[in-house]
Structure 1
Amino acid sequence: MKTTTLLGLKEKGFSDRIVDELVTTTLTANYGQNASIHEFVGSVSVAGAGGGLWAVHGGNRLVPERLLESSKATLYKARVARVQLLNDTGGFVIESTLYREVNNNIETENNTSDYDIVIVAAPLTEDTRRGIEFSDFPVDFSFPGEYHRTVCTMVHGKINHTWFGFKDESDMLDGVLTTKLGLQFNSLGKQNPVDYSSKTNNKANKLDVWKIFAQTQLQPQFLSELFSEIKEVTFINWLAYPHYEAKPRLDQFVLFENLYHINAIEWAASAMEMSIIGAKNVALLVYNKWYDLKVDDSKKSHEEL
């Protein structure tokens, strides 16, 4: 994490052209950044360009949903406002606003609950923490850095192949990657098929679903140039990944006794798989601490990152 992706790959014998034309395309599409980010996250980005990738039918969101179901945990839809340390018991009080749907209306209720262990599974930088306050702790928590904004635009429509310089519609590519930041979009790709079926006939469907990653929300005028026909447009605007630099950074899974932070791992690299590794590390830390397990280091299985 002390070396940029560019310098790290050049030291391994890769040419500037390979980095500029291949590696940078993955960095721009995946992280909206360039080869100046640290080498480890650059390697994770390149790994995502391989052909052995997969997706879950119905959306990758089903992975955490099914894990939640199998865990039999109770999910409260709420926004946390404050985590307070109870000095007399060592536990915590969490103040939150609960949300629930009643007769198609969203109702809110202020709630206060006591917990022995708190695990934060969300970014905590000033631009992402949404006002979560940590009170009555003997230390001041600092979460430097910022997250990188990505706007995902999903368009159900017909791409304008002439905008890309193609005379014939059949010549249009299924994906377009860029190597330069500051353009109108970072990447564009056809989502094919959207709903998998052995009977799917994509050629018979003139309208496709396209996913566009950009730094800002695309304007209607630009979308009307990019597509000759638009049926539906959806925007997803979020702080997606940390803004990376080639500087050593060792964020901690343990913020305080019995207070843990899964997203510390994102500063090494941000990906669904990295979140799983972070969650497993925290789960092991919590289990071992709670049951006060004495592990023989000579026999310990080193599965953590």
Structure 2
Amino acid sequence: VDDVIAAVLRSSYGQSVLVPAFAGAMSLAGAQGSTWAVEGGNKLVCSGLLKLTKASVISARVTGISLHSSDGRALYQVHYESTEGQGSAFYDMVVVTTPLHPSRSNFTFENFDPPITDFPGAFQPSVTSVVHGYLNSSYFGFPDPKLFPFTSILTTDTPDLFFHAMDNICPVNISAAFRRKQPQEAAVWRVLSQQPLDKHQLKTLFRSYYSVQVTEWQTYPRYDATKALPPVVLHENLFYLSGVEWVASSMEMVAVAAKNVALLAYNRWHQELEKIDQKDLMHKVKTEL
């Protein structure tokens, strides 16, 4: 546990083995050799889905959601800001996909009774440093860099260690002529840490480097701070997608949650309530498997 599982959790979630079991299992699944990636970057999943659905996209930042009523049904006014200024639009149904937590939520709910407030919980701060340079293989026990055999480096939960993991990364678009750099050559490394790396720490990991690009962000929920899962239904035809992250956070989990919310919204809108919370659902799932 302290060697293998702790190392994987530090690499994926930046946290210790105190995370819930399902989050730990999801982390271990991502450490298998059969994981996938999208050529051009995983961000193309979102743009590809939008293209397939032929959705009308408003490029703007949502600032708030106001509750109104129309013929006895909830009607939602979504307020937003764009490069063209402020605007709003009315919708019968809304799905909130941004985390509703104090450190992440940046819009308000108006006219709701009871009011919708931020949910408890915190997110794990993380720093990603992309470094183009020569790895200091001596720090990892290989004085001769030509003999360094690894492209990924994981770490155990050591108090004085200043990084969680690092790996030699490849371009998102790989040509036929691409070859991974030899260990003695300058390569692009991704270093994951909880705090930005200072010059001394960079010189510890690299003999020399050409460039460093640093991104600080709040990556995953702090699973040791989880109290209860947020609801899926915030109000009539107002759904919340990101609560699934507090079970385990990954692209696959969010995709499952999105499908579930879409089915729930469809069945509620068309009053096919017998398809919601089916009593024999677990039996059906078991027999299907």
TM-score with structure 1 setting the length = 0.83
Measure how far apart 1:248 and its partner are. 5.9
1:82 paired residue number: 64
**Of 60, 80, 85, which residue of structure 2 is paired with 1:96?**
80
Maintained 8 Å contact 1:157/1:208 = yes
Partner AA of 1:82 in structure 2 = G
Determine the structure 1 residue equivalent to 2:153.
176
Q: What are the Cα deviations for residues 218-245 of structure 1, in whole angstroms up to 9, with x where unaligned?
A: 2234223322232332222211111003
Residues 148, 242 of structure 1: 8 Å contact kept: yes
Shift of 1:277: 0.8
Contact kept, 8 Å, 1:32 with 1:181, in 2: the verdict is: no
User: What whole-Å deviation, never above 9, does each CA across 1:86-128 have from its counterpart, x for those lacking one?
Assistant: 14551111111113xxxxxxxx411121111111111110110
1:246 shift after superposition: 7.9
% of aligned pairs identical?
34
Number of residue equivalences: 276
State the alpha-carbon separation in 1 of the partners of residues 108 and 225 from structure 2.
30
Mapping of residues 235-274 of structure 1, within 5 Å? 235-245=214-224, 249-274=228-253
The residue that corresponds to 1:280 in the other structure is: 259
Alignment counterpart, residue 157 of structure 1, candidates 133, 138, 144 = 133
Pairing 1:1-305 to 2, within 5 Å after superposition: 19-88=1-70, 89-99=73-83, 108-130=84-106, 132-142=107-117, 143-172=119-148, 173-180=150-157, 182=159, 183-192=161-170, 195-203=173-181, 206-245=185-224, 249-295=228-274, 297=278, 302=285
Note the C-alpha offset of 1:302: 5.0
Mark the CA change 1:155 to 1:203 in structure 2 (over 3 Å): closer, same or farther. closer
Unaligned runs of 5+ in 1: 1-18, 100-107
Alpha-carbon distance change, 255 to 181 in structure 1, aligned in 2, over 3 angstroms: farther
CA drift of 1:260 comes to: 0.7
**Match for 2:168: what amino acid?**
K
Which deviates more, 268-277 or 218-227?
218-227
Change (3 A) 1:38 1:298: closer
RMSD: 2.3
Could you list the runs of 5+ residues in structure 2 that have no partner in the other structure? none
Residues in 2 aligned to 1:57 and 1:233: alpha-carbon distance in whole angstroms: 24
1:6 corresponds to which residue?
none
Distance 1:225 1:299, change over 3 A: closer
Which piece of structure 1 moves more, 173-182 or 148-157?
173-182
Greater CA drift, 229-238 or 77-86: 229-238
Q: What letter matches 1:55 in structure 2?
A: A
Kept in 1: contact 2:181–2:187 (CA 8 A): no
Does the C-alpha gap of structure 1 residues 145 and 246 become closer, same or farther in structure 2, counting only changes over 3 Å?
A: closer
Superposition TM-score, scaled by structure 2 size:
0.87
